[in-house]
Amino acid sequence: MLQFSALPDLPTNPSSPSVLVPTMGALHEGHSALIRRAREIAGRQGIVTVSIFLNPLQFDSASDLAVYPRTLEADLLLCSGLGVDKVYTPSPEEFYAPDHSISIVENSLSRTLCGTTRPGHFEGVCTVVLKLLNALRPSAAIFGKKDYQQLAIIMRLVRDLCVPVEIYGVETEREPDGLALSSRNLNLNPEHRKDASRIYGALLSARDIRETGEQRREVYLQTARKHLVENAPSEMGIEYLELVDRETLAPLAKVTRPALLATAITYDKIRLIDNIEI
């Protein structure tokens, strides 16, 4: 039998809502918004659980995993201040058996966007999320739309594998200058942090084209790319900039249905993602 030394007690009343907010730690106001939404769904009588687990399976780079912020003490204080009922904080050794050999693979939605540049990433995401849902058995789970592809894949996971949980997506929380809140923002140097506001500005500039009735894919991408590269520091790079169908995440030739403009930007080795619905 699997042993989870930090596994919270499961709710004794199955009719009482139990809502999970999965995180990798380094919590910020974006996570706070997820927790507040979880409380709304759970109500006063329900249980809100936050998992804090830096999942090694979803990192395609050991160096990226090594520099990911770890702020457990501050994270626990934030959870306490927001009235979280339980916090689940296993170590990788507790969470994964040393000879674990089963993982979950998604073969459609993960073929675009982050899936093209991060081999194995979504296999790690699907595996950890399914394991968390099985271990904690919440009635609902909350994810942010900043990781839009992740949200879409998890919704597909729940649908295809008949997992009895409702998935909620929450809008992206942003800094005053528009930069999407992310734990990785802590690793940006001051110059790059100031410059990173260009990411959301580029997405907005492209989205505004829709008001003209424009449908051509290349116009949206060219507009966003121009704003991304104009006077950008040499350390800034575009990993991808893509216009996809919001449901299938397949590239769109024309904006004739709900679309998503998504990008991944790097500053040196710091990787930031963002998106906007069109």
**Torsion from C-alpha of 80, 150, 99, 8, nearest 10 degrees:** 20
| Cβ count within 10 A of residue 45 | 9
Q: What is the pTM of this model?
A: 0.93
Active-site entry in 31, 121, 192, 227:
31
Tokens linked to 37: 């939404």
Exposed, middle or buried, 221 (CB in 10 Å: 0-12/13-18/19+)? middle
Edge-first strand listing for the sheet containing 140-144: 86-88, 47-52, 18-23, 140-144, 166-170
Nearest CA to 84 out of 5, 15, 125, 31 is that of 31
Domains in the chain, ordered, with CATH?
Answer: 18-170 (3.40.50.620), 183-277 (3.30.1300.10)
227 included as an active-site residue: no
Exposed, middle or buried, 89 (CB in 10 Å: 0-12/13-18/19+)? middle
Question: Tens-of-pLDDT digits for all 278 residues of the chain?
Answer: 223 345 666 555 557 899 999 999 999 999 999 999 999 999 999 999 999 999 999 998 898 999 999 999 999 999 999 999 999 999 999 999 999 999 999 999 999 999 999 999 999 999 999 999 999 999 999 999 999 999 999 999 999 999 999 999 999 999 999 999 999 999 999 999 999 999 999 999 999 999 999 999 999 999 999 999 999 999 999 999 999 999 999 999 999 999 999 999 999 999 999 999 99
